[in-house]
A and B are shown apart, each in its own frame.
Chain A
């Protein structure tokens, strides 16, 4: 496996990290250099394998996790001491909590010894109520028992508090280096700035809905619908937690079954994909993307055509991507996968899209260098 000097540039090209001039130069070089073409194939294959990895989680586990977190959050708010309030999250932490002692202060030890002495001395007479009495007779030394609704967390899990709002949460400070544990300040709501976010600058990433504002536009939706069927079987209290999926074009609903494709049922759909070649599709997609790139975001009506055309091409794209996957054409499949997310975003634009959203899709196109990739796909 011989590497050419341009291999690093190929890596940058597929990440969309090259300027247009440099990207063109690398594209030209790719035409002549077999080693670089192989490198690109391999890099795209790795990309495909890594990005198509599906985590092994189901909706029920996800709901449970959310419920635990929200419950922990509520407990935090209802008691001033987060170290005592946070319940163990997850199996590991639940077990850890069993072995955690609230503290080992001398008062507690003295009270325990006293209890033991009493138990031994008057076992029959005092059975059943000796312990509460001992705790109650010495309120100065015995710590208040933790609330039954809020299990005592282990030191590992919940950390300790110094009573000043400073909590050693047992969590690596996100602003610190690897393996570096620092005291993390969790400030009371609405007071001062948060140390955890120091160093972050707002980027002004916007979105069409509240979920999108957290998502740089490239992020892939994985498994958002994986448990939808499962939800029919879920217990009521799990389903009660709000689960909001913004209205989108549903790729799953667009997927054709093998039988459908084989039997030609899909020809009944708009812009039937039968008989299409990848090259032709790549050309059509290029035209659409160029048109979208040149469209003025200020005039929303300009994008009506692009939106509609994206929806049409999405059908074709899904069929061709699946065909490429079946035929083992990994680089074509990877390119079509990249294209699909762009088409989906354009198809999902509202009637009057915010210029920010349009710009962000354009930026993604630029970053992915999708038009250049389509050119290559059309040539191949």
Chain B
């Protein structure tokens, strides 16, 4: 039991931070959402512990983990969309002041920009891009995690990049124009 737990702890230490990073970027890591990402990461590891590392083929545990985490995150996103539809009507009347960039620390600001950038993408493109850029998975590995073909991964990653270029470029240009006008 002890060695099983030790093995699990080693795996946990290695992949918990990267799984949290992936989930934060997938779910959007602001405030409560950040806590949700950590809850989902924890839940994914709990499922892994129940299944048993030793029961998974060698080298596959990481893919299994990201696959479970992604599915849990999708459930969470669905729930959140429902909540938001109800909540937004009320919240719009009490919209809180959004602090300006000068009020935020540089790190938080940078993190925020990444999350905003990723939020411009549809979920399937965002996931494929995150697994590629953060986890450095090959297209074949991403296809395995997402249960889709390699060709789809190739298209999704490319479309994610071009879409980011266009949308982000437009956004930056708009901000620059606003800055000049101001």
Contact = CB atoms under 8 A, between A and B. Distances in A.
A224 interface: yes
Interface in A143-201: 169, 171-181, 186, 189, 194, 196-197, 199-201
A76 B5 CA distance: 14
Given A15-B157, A65-B16, A220-B134, A197 B55 contact: yes
Contacts of A174: 64, 67-68, 71
B174 interface: no
Given A49-B117, A92-B36, A218-B137, A171 B7 contact: no
B109 to A, nearest CB: 12
A111 B180 CA distance: 74
B21 A73 contact: no
Interface residues of B, number: 83
A interface, how many residues as a size bin?
35 or more
B58 A213 contact: yes
B111 A53 contact: yes
Interface string A108-142: 00000000000000000000000000000000000
Interface string B127-138: 001101111111
Interface stretch (A1-9, A302-310, A314-322): A1-9
What is the predominant secondary structure among interface residues of chain A facing chain B?
A: loop
B59 interface: yes
Contacts of A245: 13
Contacts of B118: 50
Interface in A211-248: 211, 213-216, 218-220, 222-224, 226, 241-245
A70 B165 contact: no
Contacts of B24: 53, 55-56
A200 B63 contact: yes
A54 B105 CA distance: 14
B6 A244 contact: yes
A171 B47 contact: yes
Interface string A42-67: 11001101110111110001100110
B20 A17 contact: no
A175 B71 CA distance: 9
Contact of B14 (A57, A68, A189, A215): A215
Interface of B: 1, 5-18, 20-21, 24-25, 29, 34-39, 41-43, 45-47, 49-52, 55-64, 67-68, 71-72, 74-75, 78, 107, 110-111, 113-114, 117-118, 123, 129-130, 132-139, 141, 144, 147, 154, 157-158, 161-162, 164-166, 169
Given A171-B72, A172-B74, 12 more contacts: A1-B165, A8-B158, A46-B117, A50-B25, A53-B25, A56-B111, A90-B39, A197-B60, A200-B60, A215-B14, A220-B18, A224-B17
12 contacts: A50-B114, A53-B24, A53-B111, A56-B24, A57-B38, A171-B71, A177-B147, A178-B123, A189-B52, A202-B58, A210-B7, A214-B14
